Structure 1
Amino acid sequence: MRTQKKTALIAGLLIALAASGAWYATKPATAKLAAPTAIPVRVISVTEKDVPRYVTGIGSVLSLHSVVVRPQIDGILTKILVKEGQLVKQGDLLATIDDRSIRASLDQARAQLGESQAQLQVALVNLKRYKLLSVDDGVSKQTYDQQQALVNQLKATAQGNQASIDAAQVQLSYTQIRSPVTGRVGIRTVDEGNFLRMTDTLGLFTVTQIDPIAVEFSLPQQMLPTLQGLIGDPERAQVKAYIGADTDGETGNLLGEGHLTLIDNQINANTGTIRAKAEFTNPGQKLWPGLLVTVKIQTALDKDALVVPPTVVQRGLDQHFVYRVNGDKVETVTVQMVYQGSGQDIIKGVKPGDVLVSDGQSRLKPGSTVQVMTEPPQVVQSESKP
């Protein structure tokens, strides 16, 4: 009897547990409304300022004057008065050549001139006397004409002697080698005591002008109208020269600032480029002949331009657009790309002060809720377990 009661009690408990489980299983779940998640973005404000436009190219530094100093007469090099690398001015004495034989020739020419002048003086006195005598037929007409011819002959001889003196003086001036330009002396190729010849091709050394200096560069032929406009502008176009810079000219060291001076008279048909030249003041001698540099030319100046970083403008299928923040949401605005620079773009279609998304556009769509981030996200590094 007790066993039957115990069995019935256990069966009742099992039925109750099963019913309770079935009720919990079929109980409707409480509906939860998921709030929209804000997308983190970074923003900038549209600024208005004057923006210069630039074009860049690769160029080579050239000296405006580079002269190989060679002797103009044959002779022994007696003295070199400058050192390698020395800065010299135009007209400075650089070296001297043995001048003793030329001085002797000059003295001889002067002596011959003195002799000719003495003879001419006597002949002129006789000619004057014969002229007076010829009035009274004191001398014949033939004698007078002969004396006139002798005077003319002696005058020509004196002129020849004077020409010999002038030639000797020119030769004597060649024994003093002077700098034809202001510049820097190069490496010397000849030492004192050597016999110099006019046919020597190497010369003594070179004198190269460093300040001012020029840079020659090439640009695409499409730039020809722009360059022509810059050459004709009274305010000469500014040109900057960099070393170690990329094609945008934003990195590297600025070596100098100059102005555009020349466009070549023809376009290279093989490369489709045109050569141009700019002149630079170079007091610090940072620009050196033969140096390869990146040139950056200001071609225009946009007044009151609307400027944004390059990351702001997005490209659609057939147009450019930006995401503008309006409250806590974003909207798309179609813009026109006016100019693309290396660090900033000029656009139209927005207003100064508009807040635009500069980072995080990949998750956005019109009407998305955004959260403006002010600090860069921190990078969390996982600790390695021993």
Structure 2
Amino acid sequence: MKRVTSPWILFAGAVLAVGAVVLIAAMAGFPLSRSADASVPAARPAPLVSVVRAEQRDLVVKLAAQGHVVALNQVDVRPQLGGTIRGVHFREGDEVRAGQQLFTIDASDASAQLMRSEANFAQIEAQVDDAARDLGRTRQLAQSRFYSTSAVDTSASKLESLQAQLKAAQADVAASKLLMERTRIAAPMSGLTGALAVHPGSLAQPGATAALVTVVQIDPIGVEFTLPESQLAGLLAARAAGSVRITLRNAAGTAGISQPGTLVFVNNTVNTDSGTITLKASFPNAARTLWPGAYVELEVDAGTSPGAIVLPPQAVLDGPQGRFVFALDREGRAQVHPVELLRIQDQLAVVQGLKGGERVVAEGGQGLKPGSAVKVAP
């Protein structure tokens, strides 16, 4: 009887035999393919970069800063005389004029003191007149030998004593009148009043911590801000030349919301903790768009920087040793050039450390290594 072998069984046996041969060859270390591309690594293409020229130009120095609106003049109105508030002659938040009456303090005690002082002055004045007449009679009688010279001296001394008392009484009257004037508190300057701390019937005390009201000047108004210490020399030079121009920006960063301001104050010391200098500018504020305490952004035009080197901001990279750029040498290889970033202005980076004219990598420099060959994009 014949044994018949299935074709599927024969195919499976052949596949197993081929697999065994491949496994033995691999264990023996024989290459499975003779292709030359598998043993030779492919060459890495040069990275594609975009290049710009480091440009040298005379650039207007524009410095960005943040600050707060402050009052150029501010007065805390306080009483100089203790007493009960009898009247408040304005509403809190009103704009007042210099000399306008704000408060009235109970003047009963001051009025009584003034009356006593005037009465005492009148009494001593009468005594002075009587002593003067007595001195005149004594001198006449002394000439007729009825009185001695010592009597004349006594009358003269009495008159001088009363005249001194009269001057003291006159000073008391002046002091009492001053107290009466202090019962009427007037605005020391024109400005805007704040919140009231007292009301009619409240007790006013000269040594109280809180002021009766605060008056601030609104027009013109100031803005206090800071700038880096490195910008101080250029700013002072521009200020001496009269070329400092300060503008305000609103929250959207568009045009100034007020007329250009004037630099009115530069602090006499630099803050050693932050490395900044405090400055103050004055702005006209007739429209009341600026309010004390508000946050604002400023742009300071501080003269012109001749021969400034400018680059696209993305060309300046950060490294362990500081900021740098990749500049191409004569062979077209990227070399590291350390730079100092002075500021970002008009979407340009103003740097120090280049001479101008260098071919600097603007895009594609993140993965470069010093000395790498690059392909410049058209």
TM bucket normalised to smaller: 0.5 to 0.7
Letter in 2 for 1:228: L
One-letter identity of the residue aligned with 1:114? A
Return the offset for 1:319: 7.3
Corresponding position of 2:202: 194
- Give the TM-score normalised by structure 1: 0.65
* Preserved CA contact (<8 Å) 1:236 1:260: no
> Structure 2 matches for 1:217-366, cutoff 5 A?
217-233=225-241, 235=242, 237-244=244-251, 250-251=253-254, 254-301=257-304, 317-318=326-327, 341-343=345-347
Deviation at 1:287, TM superposition (A): 1.6
Q: For residue 209 of structure 1, what is the amino acid of its counterpart?
A: Q
- Determine the C-alpha separation between the residues in 2 that align with 1:220 and 1:188: 39
Of 155-164 and 255-264, deviating more is 255-264
Pairs within 5 Å for 1:173-212: 173-212=181-220
Q: Does 1:140 align with 2:148?
A: yes
Q: Is the 8 A contact 1:60 1:292 kept in 2?
A: yes
The one-letter code matched in structure 1 to 2:86 is T
Residue 107 (1) aligns with residue 127 (2) = no
Cα-Cα RMSD: 3.6
**CA contact under 8 A between 1:75 and 1:195: conserved in structure 2?**
yes
Deviation (angstroms), 1:57:
1.4
The count of aligned residue pairs is: 289
State the distance in 1 between where 2:291 and 2:186 align: 23
CA contact (8 A) 1:231 1:261 kept: no
Q: Which residue of 2 aligns with 1:44?
A: none
Asked whether the equivalents of residues 243 and 255 of structure 1 are also in contact (C-alpha less than 8 Å), the reply is no
Q: Deviations over 1:342-365 (max 9, x none)?
A: 25789x999xxxxxxxxx999x95
| Counterpart secondary structure, 1:103 | helix
Q: Secondary structure at the match of 1:153?
A: helix
Partner of 1:3: none
CA deviations on 1:92-150 (whole Å, 9 max, x unpaired) are 11111111221222122112111211111121122223233334433112111111111
Q: Go from structure 1 to structure 2 and tell me whether the alpha carbon gap of 1:314 and 1:93 turns closer, same or farther (over 3 Å shift).
A: closer
Gaps of 5+ in 2: 1-56, 318-324, 330-340, 358-362, 366-374
Is structure 2 residue 172 aligned with structure 1 residue 164? Answer: yes
Structure 1: gaps spanning 5 or more residues: 1-47, 321-336, 351-359, 369-386
User: Contact 2:313–2:344 at 8 Å: present in 1 too?
Assistant: no
Q: CA deviation at 1:242?
A: 2.5
Contact 1:88–1:185 (Cα < 8 Å) also in 2:
yes
Cα gap change, 1:77 to 1:312, in 2 (>3 Å): closer
Question: Structure 1 residues 130, 217: CA separation in 2 closer, same or farther (over 3 Å shift)?
Answer: same
1:254, CA displacement in angstroms?
Answer: 2.6
Query: Which residue of 2 is the match for residue 29 of structure 1?
Result: none
Q: 1:319 to 1:147 in 2, by over 3 A?
A: farther
- Quote the Cα distance in structure 2 between the aligned partners of 1:243 and 1:170: 49
More divergent stretch after superposition (128-137 vs 104-113)? 128-137
- 3-state secondary structure, aligned to 1:164: helix
Residue number in structure 1 paired with 2:102: 94
Take 1:318 and 1:232, find their aligned partners in 2: how far apart are those partners? 38
User: What corresponds to 1:383 in structure 2?
Assistant: none
Secondary structure of the 2:327 match is coil
What is the Cα deviation at residue 338 of structure 1? Answer: 12
Query: Residue 64 of structure 1 is aligned with which of 53, 60, 72?
Result: 72
User: For the Cα contact (< 8 Å) 1:212–1:279, is it kept in 2?
Assistant: yes
User: C-alpha separation between the residues in 2 aligned to 1:136 and 1:129?
Assistant: 11
Partner of 2:19: none
Secondary structure at 2:249 match in 1: strand
Q: Does structure 2 retain, via aligned residues, the 8 Å contact 1:68–1:203?
A: yes
